[in-house]
Chains A and B, each alone.
Chain A
């Protein structure tokens, strides 16, 4: 464990913090502190440069126009790509997930370039919006328990060869491609459609990011009683659609 603190960067809260995803920052902070890992949280607004020295970058969901603005500003800034080159970890949700890919459809209905940090391409679905509880199995290589979350999106995201699906859905839509994939990841960059927020429903994901950032195999146990109770309830709810 390094003796300096864990630097957690919350990217563009002015544009991409509309669906409660700042909960992911709060859970990462809380669980790190519970393990006596000091945390420095940095909220970076879209008129500020993205620092390149962060350990974990979290990006949330947002509405369609803010998503385009965020992608434009992140491309122009370039800091996130440099941070990833430095080995930083990025975890993104919904609109943020689409931005990390090569391309998505913007609020004007046109293809908008993303950052290309994750080998995915997103298009807009023609059918009904995907809304509701999701239950999925996370890629066994990551050694995590089932994924529970809430999806609310119109996007369809295709995972390319340079990335792996983060999970396979049991209930719900996930990437919306009809093949049961949900989210995507490579070595250090993760994307998911799950709100909830996803870390509140799956604190093991927060732990995984902390371990990756600190380069440790295990963390001391934390009291997970409320998380576990919530998980059990939501997993049961997703399994019995209304």
Chain B
């Protein structure tokens, strides 16, 4: 194993041990997995630890506004065909969580790492990745996050000249802008339903023209690159024109898109699309997302949607009317404290569904749905909503902390 050929320095070893001890204390105190606190302690003792841990691995980084946890999981499954994988599978995607995850995988050959958008350039510098997969960028938590276009600009600067193979979604103009400073890019036509963060050219500010699937700037000529991989319906088309069926247990177009990017990334590590895609079928749920649980005698499917682009993709995968829909929105720190984004979501798509509304910010949702002309019922809690829902599997859509609350309540 590569991991044994160059042992960690004594300082790095000490840092790993101290980090694990801190994580154990945190776990014992009932404060979650402890991976973040462990990573923090370890990085404090050895700031170069992340780089040291990564030198023994072939690393691929995954970043995006939406789909990074799922894609990390799909890609990890695919690469397991070629060797042991270490991954921050639970979504702890800032440097401390990443350090902690890597410290736990001494036998691994591959590191499949989800990275928070804000940290991508820094982590890419530290771990010298072999590949970087970039899926999409759209508005998210604007009360605390950087502007979406600025994020693309930072990626562009931070990744310029990277030695990594960059696998990038050619259908997202912001991703294209971010990746086009990289020397080696594999463009994937992975699609993107949400278009409202890329009407102006990331290069010159001109108005982007978007005839059917193409896009280009009429003023400066910045345009959609020619993809070598493509998502085409239920298939991934590889650079040789071969179409490979995508069979996933995960629902929705967005996950097919995640699988297409994962297949292209796996190919960069020598894993053939057929093998990669077959392995992705094993993924059933990702950190509770897409799980179907039984609660109060009812089936509930748990769906996470954190921002307008995520809600749009989620609406397209739920069962049609009259499937009951439960919506839950919070606005705690991790969600972003501004709920204005609810108005960028087209809730008229839920027309015909019986709708039940819960969560800290149910009144914001109530006004939103009222203005959309929908019928809905505001409930005190999940139990009341489930008890009142008409027959059928309940599609429960929640944003970040609301999703955690929901999982806790239904015992997932």
- Answer whether residue A7 sits at the interface, using C-beta atoms and an 8 A cutoff: no
Q: Mark A202-242, 1 if CB is under 8 A from B, else 0.
A: 00000000000000000000000011011001000000000
Q: Tell me the minimal C-beta distance from B179 to chain A in angstroms.
A: 20
Write the A17-38 contact mask toward B (1 if CB under 8 angstroms, else 0).
1111111001100100000000
Is A83's CB within 8 Å of the partner chain B? Answer: no
Contacts of A63 in B (CB 8 A): 147-150
Choose from A22, A64, A230, A233 the contact partner of B344 (Cβ within 8 Å). A22
Query: In the complex, which residue of chain B has the Cβ closest to the Cβ of A226?
Result: B366
Contact (Cβ within 8 A) A14 B366? no
- Scan residues 178-234 of chain B and give those whose CB is less than 8 A from a CB of chain A: 196-197, 199-200, 205, 207
Q: Which of B268-276, B310-318, B322-330, B368-376 is the interface stretch?
A: B368-376
Restricting to A4-23, which residues have a CB under 8 Å from any CB of B? Answer: 13-15, 17-23
Q: Return B159 CB to nearest CB of chain A, in Å.
A: 20
Looking at the assembled complex, report how far the CB atom of A24 sits from the nearest CB atom of chain B, in whole angstroms: 8
User: Which A residue sits closest to B209, measured CB to CB?
Assistant: A47
A131 interface contact, C-beta 8 A: yes
Q: Does B341 contact A (CB under 8 A)?
A: yes
- Chain B residue nearest to A63 in the complex (CB): B147
**Does A132 reach chain B (CB closer than 8 Å)?**
yes
Contact between A200 and B367 (Cβ–Cβ < 8 Å)?
yes
Flag if B207 contacts A227 (CB, 8 Å): no
Interface set, chain B 321-359, CB cutoff 8 A to A: 337-344
Residue of B nearest to A68 (CB): B205
Mask, B360-390, CB within 8 Å of A = 1, is 0001101110111100000000000000000
Contact check, B343 vs A22: say whether CB atoms are below 8 A apart.
Answer: yes
Contact indicator B200/A23 (Cβ below 8 Å): no
Interface centre among A27, A30, A47, A226 (most CB of B within 10 A): A226
Q: Is B142 an interface residue (CB 8 A)?
A: yes
Bound-state CA distance A18–B145 (Å) is: 13
Of A20, A46, A227, chain B has the most CB atoms within 10 Å of the CB of A20
Q: Evaluate whether A66 and B142 lie within 8 angstroms (CB atoms) in the complex, with A23-B371, A200-B367, A229-B363 already known.
A: no
Query: CA of A171 to CA of B205 in the docked complex: distance in angstroms?
Result: 37
Take A200-B343, A226-B370 as given contacts and tell me if A19 and B142 are in contact as well, using a CB distance cutoff of 8 Å. yes
Q: How far is the CB of A193 from chain B (nearest CB, A)?
A: 12
Is A197 in the interface zone, CB < 8 Å from B?
yes
The answer to whether residues A152 and B367 also contact, given A14-B199, A22-B343 and a CB cut-off of 8 A, is: no
0/1 per residue, B114-149, Cβ < 8 Å to A? 000000000000000000000000010011100111
**Size of the chain A interface, CB-CB below 8 angstroms:** 34
Q: State in angstroms the CA–CA spacing of A200 and B372 once bound together.
A: 12
Q: Which residues of B contact A229 (CB under 8 A)?
A: 363, 366
How many angstroms from the CA of A47 to the CA of B364 in the assembled complex? 33
Please indicate the chain A residues that have their CB under 8 angstroms from the CB of B200 in the complex.
Answer: 14-15, 46, 65-66, 69
Chain A's closest residue to B208 (CB) is: A14
Instruction: List residues of chain A with CB within 8 A of the CB of B344.
Output: 17, 20, 22
Chain A: interface secondary structure? mixed
Instruction: Report A237 CB to chain B, min CB distance, Å.
Output: 10
Residue of A nearest to B376 (CB): A226
Q: Is A102's CB within 8 Å of the partner chain B? A: no
The A-contacting residues of B in range 143-167, CB under 8 angstroms, are 143-144, 147-150
A176, chain B: closest CB distance, angstroms: 16
Q: Is the CB of B340 within 8 A of A21?
A: yes
Q: Once the chains bind, are A230 and B199 in contact (CB under 8 Å)? A: no
- Whether B343 contacts A197 by the Cβ 8 Å rule is yes
Q: Name the distance in Å between B328's Cβ and chain A's nearest Cβ.
A: 16
Q: Are B340 and A197 in contact (CB under 8 A)?
A: yes
With contacts A14-B207, A66-B200 known, is A195 near B338, CB below 8 A?
yes
CB atoms of A200 and B368 under 8 A apart? yes
Which residue on chain B has the smallest CB distance to residue A198? Answer: B340
Q: Are B142 and A152 in contact (CB under 8 A)?
A: yes
In the complex with contacts A15-B199, A66-B200, A229-B366, A26-B142 CB distance below 8 A: no
- Complex Cα gap A170–B197 (Å): 34
A233 with B363, Cβ < 8 A, contacts A15-B199, A23-B371, A195-B340 known: yes
Task: For the complex formed, measure the closest distance between the CB of B143 and the CB atoms of chain A, giving whole angstroms.
Answer: 5
- Return chain A residues, CB-CB under 8 Å to B363: 226, 229-230, 233
Q: How far is the CB of A200 from chain B (nearest CB, A)?
A: 5
Task: Give every chain A residue within 8 A of B368 (Cβ-Cβ).
Answer: 23, 200
In the bound complex, CA of A45 to CA of B218 (Å): 15
Roughly how many angstroms separate A229 CA and B367 CA in the complex, as a whole number?
9
The listed residue (B142, B205, B337, B372) touching A132 by CB distance below 8 A is B337
How long is the Cα–Cα vector from A203 to B349 in the complex, in angstroms?
Answer: 24
Residues from chain A with Cβ under 8 Å of B207 in the complex: 14, 45-47
Contact bitstring A163-197, B, C-beta under 8 A = 1, else 0: 00000000000000000000000000000000111
From A17, A197, A230, give the contact of B196 (CB < 8 A). A17
B366 partner residues in chain A, CB cutoff 8 A: 226, 229-230
17 contacts between A and B (CB under 8 A): A19-B340, A19-B341, A20-B341, A21-B343, A22-B344, A23-B340, A23-B342, A23-B368, A30-B370, A30-B373, A45-B207, A63-B148, A69-B200, A132-B337, A150-B143, A200-B371, A230-B363
Lowest 6 A-B CB distances belong to which pairs? A20-B340, A23-B343, A14-B199, A20-B343, A230-B363, A47-B207
